[in-house]
Amino acid sequence: MLVNGKHYRTIWLNKNDEKIVSIIDQTKLPHSFETLDLRTVEDFRCAIKDMTVRGAGLIGATAGYGMYIAALEAKNENFDDDIKKSGEILAATRPTAKNLSWAVERQIKKICDNNLSCDEKRKIAKAEAEAIANEDAEFCRKIGENGLEIIREISKKKNGKTVNILTHCNAGWLAFTDYGSALSPIYAAKNAGIDIHVWVDETRPRNQGASLTAWELGQEKVAHHLIADNCGGHLMQHGLVDMAIVGADRVSLGGDAANKIGTYLKALAAKDNNVPFYVAFPSSTFDFEIFDGVKEIPIEERGSEEVRIMSGKNKDGKVCEVQICPDSTPAKNWGFDVTPARLITKLITERGVFEPSKEAILKIYPI
């Protein structure tokens, strides 16, 4: 997608040295656009753990490239063992997003399940990393096409008047390699000439809506307003939301969806006000080994400093951090919650739009 009119992906092989992987440093947005080079498995571990990269699809793509770098680092005499150890390190960085372990396992299978030479395995690791990233972008493009039809129908019912869409957190191209999941249909709708407007939840405590989604929409010239996290229900009560669409970090076989903390409350408000609530994600986000998402999806608990301390630009234009609570006040910080399938109108993936049920999922994704 676009940054100051120039196309970027969120992660790419460095053109000058293919032993280096470059990323957009998302911790610097929205006040500064900077890129960062990753050279070692430890660099990748830190980038995922510290949320320099974040978002389910991008975490998966980053892990895929990290396994390529692991292949470059692996000793010939212990090649497969070294690869698997690096995979364990990367997979342990964040527990909720299924795409992470999915990408690591996919790379291990490709790299290790053969009798090829170490040099050939390194070539396979590179090709598979590129394939994971390209597949992620293509699946997100198709999500946009499938979700566009939903927005188009709402626009027709409103006789071309503005379609107001609420989203939570960031599930745009910054969360994937390109296009995004929840934002992909929005971009497709804008490109189709549909009049749209987006309500952007701030998404505390890390403010991904305020710092990332709002920045993305501004770059793509999509009309939007930033709102406080607790404003969504009020807007729905007064008919100011036509649909809600969010991303997901893991989706169970039963259709339950884990997403950024606060998503569940938006789904409850949507249900109470008859606002359709959609979850968009690529198939790599499915966890077919889990049925009850509320009980079984692991929920990441992050450091208390993310709740106690906020970052922003002061009146002098400098980015700084401020503490928002008393010195002695502790904090708890769950990163995700799970929206039960009963609150979800439809799931949107690269294969279509369908009910959040085991029967519908298995029809689209037979396993």
Contact 200, 227 (CB under 8 A): yes
229 is catalytic: no
Q: Which of 136, 201, 229, 249 is catalytic?
A: 249
Distance between CA atoms of residues 260 and 344, nearest Å: 15
Please give, one letter per residue, the 3-state secondary structure of the chain.
Answer: CEECCEECCCEEECCCCCCCEEEECHHHCCCCCCEEEECCHHHHHHHHHCCCCCCHHHHHHHHHHHHHHHHHHCCHHHHHHHHHHHHHHHHCCCCCCHHHHHHHHHHHHHHHCCCCCHHHHHHHHHHHHHHHHHHHHHHHHHHHHHHHHHHHHHHHHCCCCCEEEEECCCCCHHHCCCCCCCCHHHHHHHHCCCCEEEEEECCCCCCHHHHHHHHHHHHCCCCEEEECHHHHHHHHHCCCCCEEEECCCEEECCCCEEEECCHHHHHHHHHHCCCCEEEECCHHHEECCCCCHHHHCCCCECCCHHHHEEEEECCCCCEEEEECCCCCCCCCCECEEEECHHHCCEEEECCEEECCCHHHHHHHCCC
Active-site residue set: 249
